[in-house]
Amino acid sequence: MQKRAKSIKIRVSEDELAAMRERCDRPMLADWLRDLALGVSKRKPVPKADPELLRQLAAIGNNLNQLARWVNATKPASAVECSAALIALGRELEAIRDSQNP
């Protein structure tokens, strides 16, 4: 990284400074202003997820992995068994989605 040796001084009112600090999502206002001016994308905070939703998604992922192992190991003669398992998985995902959007 190149050393930052140049500075820019700007004047703002108390209200403008307060508004900038309110919008700033970093400890240093200067870092936020620099990134904003240079068009550097800022990191958005990771949204918090419902622990029950995470548990259900982990269970579905586990089921999907087991299904993939079973398909690779048994090489079923028909796709009917695979389709039935995938339909069941789809229903579980739909139920979770519906429970999250009442």
Residues 6+ apart with CB under 8 A from 53: 96, 100
pTM more than 0.75: no
pLDDT category, 97, cuts 50, 70, 90? confident
Closest alpha carbon to 84 in 100, 73, 98, 70: 70
Specify the amino acid at residue 60: I
Same domain, 55 and 96: yes
pLDDT tens per residue across span 15-72 = 999 999 998 888 899 988 988 888 886 666 767 888 888 888 898 888 888 888 877 7
Question: What is the residue range of 63's domain?
Answer: 51-100
What total number of domains does the chain contain? 2
User: Does 41 lie in the same domain as 75?
Assistant: no
Res. 7: pLDDT tops 80: yes
Look at residue 59 and tell me if it is in a domain.
Answer: yes
